[in-house]
Structure 1
Amino acid sequence: MAIILFTAVMGVILGTLHLQEKNQQESALFRELSFAKQRIQLRFANNLDTLVTINREITASEDQARLKKIAYEQADDLVINNHEIVKIIWVNNQNQGQWSVPPSNTKSDWISKTQNDQSANDALASTIELSRVTSRAAFSQFVNLNLPSDDPLAKERKIVFWQVVPNIVSGDITGYLAALYTTQGILDVVPAELKAHYRFTLVTDNERVLAISSDQDTPKRAFSNQTSLDIGVLSPNLTLRIDTYPPPTNLTFRMLIGVVLGLCAFVIWSLWSVLKQMQVRQEAEASLRTETSFRNAMENSTPVGIRAHDMQKRITYVNRAFCEMTGWSAKELVGLTPPFPFWPDSRRDELVEKMNRALNSETGSKAGIEGAILRRDGTLIQTRTFIAPLINEKGKQTGWVTSLIDISEPKKIREELAASQERFVTVLEGLDAAVSVVDLENDKLLFANRFYKENFGDDSKGHFKLAGSTNNLETLHNVAEDLQDSPPGIPTSFLYQESESEEVQLDDGSNKWFEVRRRFIPWVDGHLAQLLIATDITIRKEADDLARQQEERMQFTSRLTTMGEMASSLAHELNQPLAAISNYCMGVAKRLDGNIDSELNKEILPALEKASDQAHRAGTIIQRIRGFVKRSEPQRKSSSIAEIINDAVGLVEIEAHRHRLSITSDLADNLPEVNVDPVLILQVLVNLLKNALDSVREAYPLSSRWSAPPVSISADLDTNTFPAMLRIRVTDSGGGIPESVLNRMFEPFFSTKTDGMGMGLNICRSIIESHHGRLWASNVMDSERTKLAGCTFTILLPLESSDSKENG
């Protein structure tokens, strides 16, 4: 029973194998037929494109010589390179032939030699009429030519047909390009290796044979198949039939019996082994079905588009998500090669380059390729593609697997965030305030706007200058370390503690003032940072200082008015005591004169006379101050400038010696007397000498004043002016006067002394100008001219007053 069962099974298996072999041969036959059909259709499509191109060249060309050369050469190449086309004719819109390839009435014009002109021309005329009516390319019916039997090409050119392509310019037909095809030449398109194994036949609807690749008869058991050739819209019905020569089977009953006898000994073992293998196979198939179902469910449920490519980059598989993403069906996508129709036209070259670069890499694309997909409805979506090699069970790469993710929405969000960030940064860059953020752990500048960079540079030094002292910086570092050691998260109560605004003045020499606000913020990386906003308030502070100075000036003015009133009262009240002192001194001097020792008289009488003179001079000064406050004119008289200078030096020398300083005078000989108020000029010289002593006292400490150069006062004639004027100069060896002070030192109420009123130099200049003179100051440079070495005040007084000139 086992042998019989085995034999029956083997017979069934052999029959099945035979049937499968037959099916495989039929499938192979169908593939070869489809391939031959595609070759023929492609050849007709290429020929049509070439004819259209020739028409286009004829239309575009204006030069007839160039027209004939280009069109004729292209037509000649088409006839030479395509065995199925034997002739090409150009006909104008009046159906008159202009030229042909090969030329008419030549040795190669075999149609006219065989007296087939009428039938060929009739077919051509009807085809031209059909093309004219439809404005499309048209084919003629098949034409049988009468060729001599001894003609070697009689078999190949026995049956022909025309293809006419109209030349349409601006909607009008300007001519026709006609190509003469041979049916036997069509079969030459089929590769020779196929014709060696198969017989191809062209037939019509009524089974009329037009061409056959071989006259060899096929056996009765040959396989056969046929398909319709659609070579054009207005083409005749053509059918391509294929016949094969299958080899006879070599499987005989003797071999079957031998196989059965040889395997009988293993029947029982084979049955048992087969049962076991079937059981394992069923389990494997069940697992495979489960795995396949799971994979299909996973692929269909995932929103990620998946497609597979073979080694030629042809698409071999797409999942449902990819089809939904592109709008194309799997049937339409499978088999496509780059560039794909779902790629935007403007980015095809870019995407092709990216894909080639990713496919040529060894590991594929792990970071992903950013691209775009143009859906079938015209919608553009942004994608990111990941590519990985596809490895089979043998470890050999058979292609690639790509997965696509729709990133349109995330990219839109990123673009909106970037635009928002750009607007935010633009606002910060446009602020007239310094905005900076510093990491408190490493003192790194995390952000700074344009105002900050222009004023403080690209580091965090300016931030900490505005934030506070070094102690505050250490405190901030300690806070940052404590928060880093604490549990994750920065306390909200700590973050939103905002400090009061502070006014900070920079010590970098610019004397700029900033109003500073600062607070703690968590940076994007989670670290604690400090945000600081500093507004430049220098102009406001200067305005406040100016207002304060104006207020002080008003106070000084009020005090000056009060001082004037007090000066008037003091002058009135002190004149009588000073007069009494002078009278008493003179009375004592007269009583002592001649009553005491002559030696003692020489010591006492001069002192009493000097005391009387000083009392009289004090009264005169008080009268002058009273007159100055009342804005009266100076009381000029002819005075010796040398005596005035000596009196000034004598008054100031006591204070100079008290500060360990000295004064020297250098007076020119024979100085003329000048018409001035000696009391007011004395007041000016005393003031200038005191200022010079103060400058030297500030430049030299007490321990080294013994080596300080003396303050010098000189008087001479300045002959550089016309007329000549009396020049008085007071020079010190102090630190000089800064340029900013030099320009304002004669302004009222301006003073560099903490207790000064700012009126001394202004009064001095007013006194000199009231005498029609000039007063100015200039710095003295050292011998190397590298730094200031003192200051010189210069007075120029006219030798003659304006009043005397007018009287003269």
Structure 2
Amino acid sequence: MQSDSLATLLDAGPPQPWWQRPFRGQDRIAHLAPLAAVLLFLVAIVLAFWYLRIEEMRREQEAVKRDVEYSQQRLRLRLLERQEQLMRLARDMADRELSTLQFDIRAESLVSQYPELMALSWVDAERRLRATQSSPSVSPLRQWVTDGRIKAGEVDEGFSLARDLRQPVYAQPMAVKDAEPVLYLYVPITPRAQFGGALLVEYSVEGLLRYGVPSDVLAKYAVALMDAKGKLLAGQSIPERPGLSERLPWTGKVNEFETPVSLVGNGLVLRAQAWRTSQGVVGGTLFWLVAVLAAMTTWMLIANWRQSQRRQQAQHALQAETSFRRAMENSMLTGMRALDLEGRIIYVNPAFCQMTGWSEEELIGQSEPFSYWPLEDRDELAARLTDELGGLADPAGFQMRVKRKDGSVFDARLYVSPLIDAVGKQTGWMASMTDITEPNRVRRQLSASYERFTTVLEALDASVSVAPLGSEELLFANKLYRQWFGGTTEGHLKLVVRAGTPETQLSEEGLDTVDSFVGLPLDSIATAPLAEHAEVYVERLDKWLEVRSRYLNWVDGRLAQMVIATDITARHQADELAAAQAERAQTASRLITMGEMASSVAHELNQPLTAISNYCTGMISRIKGGSISQDDLLGALEKTARQAQRAGQVVQHIRSFVKRSEPRRQWAEVPAMVDQVVELAEIDLRRRQVRLTHHVAPGLPALHVDPILIEQVLVNLIKNGAESIDVAQRATSNRLVDVRVTQRDIDLQPVVQFSVTDSGRGLSAEALERLYEAFFSTKNDGLGIGLNLCRSIVESHQGRIQAENLYNAGQVVGCRFSFWIPAGPVQGASPSDNPSKAMA
């Protein structure tokens, strides 16, 4: 009501002119204008003083530059005058052929007349020093002369340059420690356009500075002559003074300028530095006067701005006080309703009207029954209203149904509290109403979802249990877990321990060592090997269980462990049956191989047996006839014994090959295994008229394998190669099976590779894809278990087998089977490991 009255008062009165009407952003501009004025004033002061300082430094720099250029011109003119006099002397020496005495007279006159000249030397074309005249203060010994000639070095280079150019040449030698810097001038002597030597002039750099630079410049500045590298040759230099050195953005240092001497070039630089450094703007009285005025102006503007701020704050407080109550009413999402002591509605907020669909005018003044009461709930709601007016309403609120104006109904929760005025007197009852239709719907859905979830877990054929770490509390267990282990965590913990997952027990004192993963210590979470699954046998149940475990955050924030156990007894029994069948198939394969080789074996045994019979018959006949000596008898008996040993070896090899026994891994030598295979396979290959060659690389390491199984793989591959040659009907010269054993590295691991190469018809594309499938065979009478067993045997030794066709001019000329075995013990295998189980 206060806000409405204030708005009415503000709107009253005659209309104002457009220039007096408030515009948008007026308050913000009024706040920022004084600050902007202060900032602009300070910026203007700073820029003005900066500009004055720059102008002062520019004038000082121009004065230094002007004096240095003037000194450089004076020094240049002095050098030109000396150069002209020396060139005239050189021309006189070339035209008149002066004698040494005459040269000494004229040179002495020049040296005594011009103090910057240190010495004049006459050097002929052969670099011999003919005459020299030095200043009295200079030692007559020259460092560049040895045995009356110019020695190799800088002086010699300048002499050569003057000879080549036929023009005067300036040169500055390298400075020598504790020696006065000098400047050389080479004036060539050219009689009749021929080079006849040079006039070598030595200038004192100190003399050039003293007599070439005007005295007023020397008095105003620290003048110095430097070489091309900035080294001081003569004069004075002012060291860097921190805090007093200033620079201009475009000209460099203030009160300093340097320029090269034009005749000499960049090898001699003239520099001048002013002795006086500018005092700067800060030391001036004008600066402090302006600074005080600026500070006073700033203080006045800030005071004015603070006064304006206080006035604006008071205005905003008044506006906030009048609009706060209505802002609350319009922004609340909870419906508010006020009743007087008689039960009539005296106030509703917009949210209450929006929720019910009734307007404020329709609700104000109503008494029971209210229009938003459903007809069927009026008796119950009337009783609740009586309790509310009597002060018996539940402080936790109550749930009711509310009817909208359009007839629809929604669920609401009502909280009732006394309405107290400013003096502490109760004037009625205040109620807040919240729409809980959606929370009720979500609650019903969650309840139904929980029931479905529980039904699914209870019907699972796997045991599911969840328990927190460091506690024996069982958070969840489905029906099958309860049937197997009961309602305790004993079964859960036993499964965790047997599956290899670490069990963590925490005491009350150890809780300080735990991080945010509640229940799991830092060292355990970093090192615990969480197995994805494990197979364990439970004697109590007489079952094999597959156990899976994982960590999860429970609903209360604790770190828990879920264990899922599945009954795999039937699968385990099936695996054992399959392993036994594979072992029987392996033995059957060896028996089938020997059955196919039976005729060849019989022929191989017939030869030593026939030889034994013949030797025995011959010895009996000769003994009866008395025509045999003791040596002949011993020789015949030795041959008979060798044939018997050969027959016994054949029988022993066949017996060991087909004998059914438990696989044993042992350290076996590769050459011995290959010799056994070759001796056994040659029996069948000779019958097929196939030549067998083999090569074993020297120095092969021993293999930790079952030698009988590796021999079976080689025999099967050799036998298949011989059969492929028979089918291809190769010529006698091209019926060959080659066995090679070498050592190589695969993935940085040393292995021993066995290769069996035949000259048969090769394999088709379909056969290469299905080569190792069980019961797939390329032979009409084949069983399709040979190569499958070969691959299983090789992989049980952690090896690999592969096949490829051999080509010649696009034609298949054979096939190569290769397999490799790691050159070391098989990891995780013991000598009693069963490869047939591994292949299953």
TM-score exceeds 0.5: no
Higher relative contact order, chain-length normalized (CA < 8 Å, sep 6+): 2
Q: TM-score, normalised by structure 2?
A: 0.28
**TM-score if structure 1 supplies the norm length?**
0.29
